[in-house]
Amino acid sequence: MIPLIQRYDFFGFLKLALDVIITKILFPSARIVRHPFYIRGRSFIKIGINFTAGVGLRLDAFPDNQQNCIKIGNNVQVNDYVHISAVESLNIGDNVLIASRVFITDHNHGLYGGLLEHSDPNLPPAKRKLSSSPVYIGDNVWIGEGAGVLPGVRVGKGSVIGCGAVVIRDIPEYCLAVGNPARVVKKYNFQTEKWEKT
């Protein structure tokens, strides 16, 4: 194994050391949260042990009540420029891996479908009523680069969300989903121990 000092140049190693120190002060149970990061509503966010975050992490929690609206499990790793935002309920299970530039949210500015009232497009988006629906991401999920997970979605444990996928509906357990909107293209077969086309 290559020694840590050899994997980084001198200044990279110093930055890593500083990030570790800041992490242990601000997030004692985390592995490392790289600087810069932005966290709004920290008192409404619960993060499990061994959390790892790349640079540019953004967590926004602004619920209507006093309960945790973002819950992140143990051994979760998020890479650079991940944005997670919630007003109601957004749960991420254990051992989840999230690639860079992923957006996960439980809410939307306005209402655009269903039987409920619809938002007036002449009203500025920032002034439209927030709508929300819980998001759940199961254990051992891997979310690929540039993906989006939108309100009301449940991603089953062991599933993979491909790069650039936009998840607008539930993804069952042990499935591989790709595209915009995301659709299941493979499911893991525990008897053959292979990912098989659906």
The residues, any chain, with a CB within 8 Å of residue 15's CB and separated by 6 or more, are: 8, 35
Please confirm, yes or no, whether 109 is among the known catalytic residues.
Answer: yes
> Within 10 A of 193 (CB to CB), how many other CB atoms are there?
7
166 vs 147: CA distance, rounded Å: 6
With vertex at residue 151, the alpha carbon angle to CA 146 and CA 156, rounded to the nearest 5 degrees, is 75
Report how far residue 10's alpha carbon sits from residue 1's, in angstroms, rounded to the nearest whole number: 19
Sheet arrangement for strand 166-167: 37-40, 57-61, 83-86, 103-105, 148-149, 166-167
Which tokens is 100 given?
Answer: 């860079």
Catalytically annotated residue among 35, 83, 107, 109 = 109
Active site members: 109
